[in-house]
Amino acid sequence: LEANFSVIRHEDGPITGLITVLHDVTEQEKIAQERREFVANVSHELRTPLTTLKSYMEALEDGALHDQELAPRFLGVAQTETERMIRLVNDLLQLSKMDRDDVRLNKHHYNLIAWLHEVLDRFEMMVKDKNIEFVRKLPTYPVRIEIDRDKMTQVIDNIISNAIKYSPDGGTITVGTDLHEDGATIFVKDEGMGIPRENQHKIFQRFYRVDKARARNLGGTGLGLAIAKEMVEAHGGTIGVSSELRQGTMITIQLPYTSIYEESRWEE
């Protein structure tokens, strides 16, 4: 607690009062602490790929450049690390926009089911060479929902990418919906490594990873789910996780319906 005192007196006259202002500094201190941690995290996340880049470039300079086998491999690493830094900076810019309350949602009415089919068709094309099967638990009738499609596509892409990243070879990923009176739940379920119970609530925090080295090797920035959470909340929804170690993980996104009486065009 921080206290400021001021005395009340008329010119040089007697003191007639005292004003005490008490500030609860715990909240301020918490914010300052979080900011320091965030800056430390960002610096660390950028330094790691930069150090890697530097050492590979030095190796190229020291002769690997003329090695038919090493040169393309080292350049490949340099490219992967650069791409990850670009992803990281893009994620950071997005978070900074959201921190400034600068998320303008461009919401329209869509058919939730058609949108999910589209997303899954795209992923099925992408994982063709991997041994992963997608199962769709989607109704045959359309479900109308009002979303910013680009932003929600980013959210669902991130969640499905995680499911793929943490799935074993031959794993099944199930994507489906549960429809309630006041909203729709989208779920993405995998048969991957799972997340220990004590870490589950932290996965939506910025830069939190259960296994840092492993997640980094898989190309993650540690910001995907933090961004997803903010996007979903900007839509008035919630995001959650349930997971069993070595059994799999299920991420759920709950989105509210908007008034069905509102007459506006559907966009496919």
DSSP annotation of 108? E
**Cβ 186 vs Cβ 255: under 8 Å:** yes
From the list 152, 249, 253, 255, which residue makes contact with ligand ADP (rule: CB under 6 A)? Answer: 249
Angle at CA of residue 30, ends 27 and 31, nearest 5°: 90
- Work out how close the CB of 16 gets to ligand ADP at its nearest, in angstroms, rounded to a whole number: 58
Strands 108-111 and 183-189 turn out to be: unpaired
Size of the site for ligand ADP (CB under 6 A): 22
Instruction: List CB contacts of 37: < 8 A, sequence separation 6 or more.
Output: none
**Cβ 53 vs Cβ 81: under 8 Å:** yes
- Work out how close the CB of 96 gets to ligand ADP at its nearest, in angstroms, rounded to a whole number: 17
What are the backbone angles phi and psi of residue 20, rounded to the nearest 5°? -115, 125
Owner of token pair 């893009």: 90
- Work out how close the CB of 224 gets to ligand ADP at its nearest, in angstroms, rounded to a whole number: 3
- What is the greatest pairwise CA distance in the chain? 90
From the list 74, 81, 88, 222, which residue makes contact with ligand ADP (rule: CB under 6 A)? Answer: 222
Residue placing its CB nearer to ligand ADP in the complex, 34 or 67: 34
Q: Should residue 254 be labelled a site residue for ligand ADP when binding is judged by CB under 6 A?
A: no
Instruction: List CB contacts of 45: < 8 A, sequence separation 6 or more.
Output: 88, 207, 221, 222
Residue placing its CB nearer to ligand ADP in the complex, 54 or 97: 97
- Work out how close the CB of 83 gets to ligand ADP at its nearest, in angstroms, rounded to a whole number: 13
**Binders of ligand ADP among 6-25, rule CB under 6 A?**
none
Measured in whole angstroms, the distance separating CA 257 from the mean position of its chain's CA atoms is 23
Rounded Cα–Cα distance for residues 110 and 204 (Å): 27
Of 36-44, 111-119, 149-157, 215-223, the segment contacting ligand ADP by CB under 6 A is 215-223
Contact letters (x/-) for ligand ADP, 57-96, by CB under 6 A? ----------------------------------------
From the list 59, 78, 127, 210, which residue makes contact with ligand ADP (rule: CB under 6 A)? Answer: 210
Contact letters (x/-) for ligand ADP, 156-185, by CB under 6 A? --x---xx--x-------------------
For residue 185, give the nearest of 261, 225, 242 by alpha carbon.
Answer: 242
Interface residues toward ligand ADP, by CB under 6 A: 158, 162-163, 166, 190, 192-193, 195, 203, 208-211, 215, 220-226, 249
